[in-house]
Amino acid sequence: MNATVSSSVPDVIDRLAGIAPGSHLDQVRAQREQARTNAQQSYLSLFAPTPPVFGNFEIADRFAVAAFVAGLHGQPEVARFYADALAGQGARAGVVEAIANEARRGAAEGPYGSYPSGPLSKEDAPGPSYAVSAAQYPVLGERLSAGLVHAHLLVFHPRDASAAALQALLDAGWSSTEVVTLSQLVAFLAFQIRVVIGLKALAQRPVTLVD
């Protein structure tokens, strides 16, 4: 993923974690400036790429998947951020509401799934599978619905990733490159959410900075 970090786009993790310029958490993040820059660059690469995205995995659909994934992670503030961005992209009528409804329907604990037969099999855990509801499928369409199903798989059933799951995306019109981008997006959201949760925890327990 390649993108140039733009000063016109505020740092998203700072915004989601409520970090004010000059605060102790701002100083904490400044001590890891490269990590801070890389996280913002990853966001821009996925959601504000330069040059703009061409193909079927449009920016609006990326924000839709992000809002869904944040909802699955039980992070309403992060989900709201991406839902607002989705609305700002001129989302099709009903899509924002459909994404919110599907995130609630898809909520689970996890991770679930089965390892290949062997020592790890003792950690196998059955869990609910997910499919877009019949009511929301016409709103979301075949491609985006397939993307949500795959995102749910990666969040809650990573052990069950398979060639068949990838083929379902291809059958719904996703290209191989778009499938890779979808997987990167889901992985980035998991990382971003963990960082935001950690920073919010630190905000409750101010730390002493080390020179």
Does 5 reside within a domain? no
175 pLDDT band, cuts 50/70/90, is very high
Report the mean per-residue pLDDT for the chain: 89
| Rounded Cα–Cα distance for residues 42 and 90 (Å) | 23
The answer to whether residue 133 scores a pLDDT higher than 60 is yes
pLDDT in tens, 81-111: 999 999 999 888 999 999 999 999 999 886 8
Residue 9: per-residue pLDDT: 79
| Rounded Cα–Cα distance for residues 72 and 106 (Å) | 7
| CATH code of 176's domain | 1.20.1290
Does 4 reside within a domain? no
Q: Which residues contact 16 (CB under 8 A, 6 or more apart)?
A: 77, 78, 81, 192, 196
- What's the domain count of the chain? 1
Task: State whether the Cα torsion 195-197-203-205 is positive or negative.
Answer: negative
Q: Which residues contact 61 (CB under 8 A, 6 or more apart)?
A: 143, 144, 147
Does 210 reside within a domain? no
pLDDT in tens, 17-31: 999 999 989 998 999
Does 138 reside within a domain? yes
| Rounded Cα–Cα distance for residues 54 and 185 (Å) | 17
Rounded average pLDDT over 103-129: 79
Does 6 reside within a domain? no
Closest CA to 60 of 77, 39, 46: 46
Domain span including residue 102? 12-111+121-204
Does 84 reside within a domain? yes
Does 187 reside within a domain? yes
Does 93 reside within a domain? yes
* 154 residue type, one letter: L
Which residue is it, tokens 């290209």? 175
Q: What's this model's pTM, rounded to 2 decimal places?
A: 0.88
